[in-house]
Structure 1
Amino acid sequence: MNSHMNFIKEQLYTLTSIPSPSSFTAKVTDYLLSELSSLGYSPERSNKGNVFVTLGGSGSPLVLAAHVDTLGAMVRSIKENGRLRPTTIGGHQWSTADGENCTIHTRDGRVYTGVVLNKEPSSHVADQKTELIEENMEILLDENVASDQDTLALGIQTGDIIAMDPRTVVTESGYIKSRFLDDKLSAAILLGLARAVREDAWKLNRKVSLLFTVYEEVGHGGSVVPDDTEEMISVDMGCVGSDLGCTERMVSICAKDSGGPYNYDLITALSNLAKEKKLDYAIDVYPHYGSDVETTLRAGYDIRHGLIGPGVYASHNYERSHMDGVHNTFELLKAYITR
């Protein structure tokens, strides 16, 4: 594994270790600002919280976007028994979180651990299986609480953030298993790209910038980009599943998702380049997907738009990808901005 792939793997471990459900992203963007600055760039954070940095080049401005906000939950209320009733942030699926460890983040900076469980999780007690929907889920704090007043005394209140443990693992065989590969895996790839541009002195064929957004999971992450942007590619997860050609070891190029078709000429150029470079890739249609770059279009920007990313299986669950998918995505981006 080359140094850029090792760097991306290290960045993935770091990024997933920083809890960042949508709106709770200051710490992860602090990290991005620090890391990009250490690479010799001058990143900026917007009022909204997005991080933007130009890597170099001139003419025909291209923005590559990834998001660092994740799914998660928020305290909706504190129950009489001291447990927390949650409300979801983004398209979080409670059926995938039953039994998951989590952390609760108070507004004064305290952090508590807990576990997500349904209201009657014991098979030795329950008369019937509990449906895993939001109203039946609760957060049990790893604290000695028996009432709402006990929990309030800890400083926990409505609106506090609940973050699921990522459980990030990269196996010897190259498989990547973690929550929030959507989209911290592609964010790590873009950091690897920034490092390679600087250390390997890539000659960019145009002005290339990176945008790390913080509200993608709730639908408005990429709604603001520089006015001179001509082309934008969301570097997000590629879908793996029924009726799709992509595997975890490929780079996926999306032709159409729930928002409609992506720019035909851009998708053609990306797929031709992947073929020319002998990369392992697939062109797919994602029926239940939306991306940052579609938000940019809806905001009124006149841009060409595309979407690529490493194949990710079990999206919005405990997800799985592979370092080969990372490599293929990295090489396609390299070829596109240096050809």
Structure 2
Amino acid sequence: MEIDIEFILENMKKYLAIPSPGGYTRESVLKAKEDFEKCGLHTKITNKGALIATLEGKNKDEEVVITAHIDTLGGMVKGITNNGRLRYAKVGGGSWGAIEGENCYIITRKGKKIRGSIIPSMASTHIYGGEGGNAIRNETNMLVRIDEVIKNKEDVIKLGINVGDFIALDTRTEITESGFVKSRYLDNKLAVAIVLEICRYFKENNIIPKYTTHFYISNYEEMGHGVSYMPEKAKEIIAIDVGIVGEGQESNEFSVSIAAKDKRSTYDFEFRNRLVNIAEENGIEYAVDVYNFYSSDATHAVIQGKDINFASLGPAVDASHHYERTHIKSIINTTKLLINYLI
């Protein structure tokens, strides 16, 4: 089984270059729609703005769903200070320390993109000393400094910036010679690129999956309500989402991570075991893990009352919701497991 890792990485970089904090995802969804249609899939955009791309299978009476969310963390303008700085409201989770010092775009209501940087109010130790510079970072003292000539609040408003405008951080995407992939928002643009590679693989190898498969590109996962529509015949859902690498976790950056439990729910034991068996039968490196502060589109679906069996797996990421990193081996193992599940 030959996985086109360059195809995955190029598509990942393309999606990462399109800002899509939760609530501002239309451009990225339309680009994914275009890419799936190039692979010959029928597509549909839901009322909520998510994308469903369908790959016809041999069995049309029972169907499966594979999800990947295209929305990311980000920010929103909470207010404008008298001296022309922007107050920052989080979109999604993550720590304040994860965004300090990052460059960003402020995206106005009319689509204008204006550069800025995220800094604490007491950034300069030459002014505030070490104690001030080490103050706790929170919503009251983390501000966006706009890269325009601004003296006051009125100057900001004249630029077209208002409360409710989105803030998108630079991703700083880098792929090293040793095979590491580093970027903000690997969670979960990488999963969208993996889904596209699955579609390419089936099309170019003239393979029909066992079941008709709906690839659900959700757009509110980071808000906790990504999957709200379910195809009538769907019997199983797999959420592709990042595995968590770090102290106390079993996941590593080279294997596919298979979730046994997240913060919201345990995953179905038989379904999880079937995925483990597929991995072992096909020589795919895997790790089973339990996550502390985490939920997926699969658990979102069942908590909403959908009658569907559910699992979650994905490439393992170090420093999730921060400056994230994985390895191409984990990406390949994830893709192979999903393809073998569908065959």
Q: TM-score higher than 0.5 here?
A: yes
TM-score, scaled to structure 1: 0.97
Q: Is the 8 A contact 2:264 2:295 kept in 1?
A: yes
Q: Distance in 1 between matches of 2:329 and 2:106?
A: 35
Deviations 1:257-286 (A, max 9, x none): 111210111000001111111111100100
Q: Deviations over 1:197-232 (max 9, x none)?
A: 111112311111100000000100012211221000
Give me the whole-angstrom Cα distance separating, in 1, the residues matched to 2:265 and 2:280: 24
Q: Which amino acid aligns with 1:31?
A: K
Specify every segment of 5 or more residues in structure 1 that has no aligned partner in the other structure, as ranges: none
- Inter-partner Cα distance in structure 2 for 1:196 and 1:292: 24
Instruction: Please give the alpha-carbon distance, in whole angstroms, between the structure 1 residues aligned to 2:228 and 2:246.
Output: 29
Question: What corresponds to 2:36 in structure 1?
Answer: 36
2:62 to 60, 63, 66: 60
**Secondary structure at 1:261 match in 2:** coil
CA distance in 1 between partners of 2:334 and 2:119 (Å): 37
* Corresponding position of 1:26: 26
3-state DSSP of counterpart to 1:159: coil
Runs of 4+ in 1 over 3 A off after TM superposition: none
Residues 1-339 of structure 1 aligned to structure 2 (within 5 Å): 4-57=4-57, 58=59, 59-127=61-129, 128=131, 129-338=134-343
Structure 2 CA distance for aligned equivalents of residues 118 and 227 of structure 1: 49
Say if 2:3 and 2:336, in contact at 8 Å, map to a contact too: no
Given residue 36 of structure 1, which amino acid in structure 2 is its aligned partner? F
How far did residue 130 of structure 1 move? 2.0
SS of 2:42's partner is coil
Q: 1:243, CA displacement in angstroms?
A: 1.6
Q: State the distance in 2 between where 1:135 and 1:176 align.
A: 33
CA distance in 2, matches of 1:146, 1:181: 37
Q: 1:84-143 deviations in whole A, cap 9, x for unaligned?
A: 011111103211111000000001111100000000112222231221112110000010
Check whether the contact 2:265–2:299 (CA below 8 A) recurs between aligned residues. no
For 1:16 and 1:55, locate their aligned partners in 2 and report how far apart those are by CA, in whole Å: 24
1:55: how far off?
1.0
Residues 128-186 of structure 1, C-alpha deviations (whole Å, 9 max, x = no match) = 12211121100000100010000000000000000010111111111000000111111
Deviation larger for 289-298 or 152-161: 289-298
- Report the alpha carbon displacement of residue 3 of structure 1 after superposing the two structures with TM: 6.2
Q: Cα deviation per residue 1:9-68 (whole Å; 9 max; x = unaligned)?
A: 001100111000000001100101111112222211111010001111024211000000
More divergent stretch after superposition (58-67 vs 8-17): 58-67
Matched residue of 2:126: which SS?
coil
Percent identity of the aligned residues? 38
Give the structure-2-normalised TM-score.
Answer: 0.96
TM-superposed CA distance for 1:2, in Å, is: 5.6
The amino acid that maps onto 1:217 is E
Moved more, 98-107 or 239-248: 239-248
Q: Which amino acid aligns with 2:33?
A: L
CA contact (8 A) 1:104 1:161 kept: yes
Distance in 1 of aligned mates of 2:278 and 2:320: 27
SS of the equivalent of 2:196 reads helix
Q: Could you tell me whether the CA contact under 8 Å between 2:33 and 2:53 is conserved in 1?
A: no
CA gap 1:3/1:265 in 2 versus in 1, 3 angstroms: closer
SS at match of 2:105: strand
Shift of 1:296: 0.8
